[in-house]
Amino acid sequence: DAGVIQSPRHEVTEMGQEVTLRCKPISGHNSLFWYRQTMMRGLELLIYFNNNVPIDDSGMPEDRFSAKMPNASFSTLKIQPSEPRDSAVYFCASRLQGIEAFFGQGTRLTVV
């Protein structure tokens, strides 16, 4: 298996633009997590899904952020409109219930 695949690896966008981050979890995993990592705040959980259903989105910063998981093999995290303070590395991770979480390589987002 290729592991968790995230795209793009790097994204530079202008303030106000829409940004869409993509994630393909490991086949057969039933939980998917979106995290944001910054020096100041560390690795923050934004939202997680079980069996494609959003379970807890309490970490989503505000309404500008949204996440979807239309099927077991794909998820998106969208920021609209983007702001400079959204600049961070965004990680997707997947897990089979009760087992370790596997992370993608992350998307480094820079909003200028």
42 binds other proteins (CB under 8 A): yes
By CB under 8 A, name the one of 19, 24, 75, 91 that touches other proteins: 91
Q: Which is nearer to other proteins, 37 or 81 (CB)?
A: 37
Assigned token pair, 40: 């100041």
- Which candidate, 23, 9, 35, places its Cα nearest to that of 73? 23
CA distances from 86 to 52, 71, 72, 92, 93 (A): 25, 26, 27, 16, 19
User: Least CB distance from residue 71 to other proteins, whole Å?
Assistant: 20
Assigned token pair, 38: 């910054």
By CB under 8 A, name the one of 7, 13, 50, 66 that touches other proteins: 50
- Amino acid at the residue 82: S
Count of alpha carbons within 13 Å of 46, Cβ hemisphere only? 27
CA–CA gap between residue 88 and residue 84 (Å, rounded): 9
Q: Which is nearer to other proteins, 65 or 90 (CB)?
A: 90
By CB under 8 A, name the one of 5, 20, 22, 45 that touches other proteins: 45
By CB under 8 A, name the one of 82, 86, 95, 109 that touches other proteins: 95
Interface positions with other proteins (CB under 8 A): 4, 31, 33, 35, 42-43, 45, 48, 50, 55-56, 91, 93, 95, 97-98, 100-106
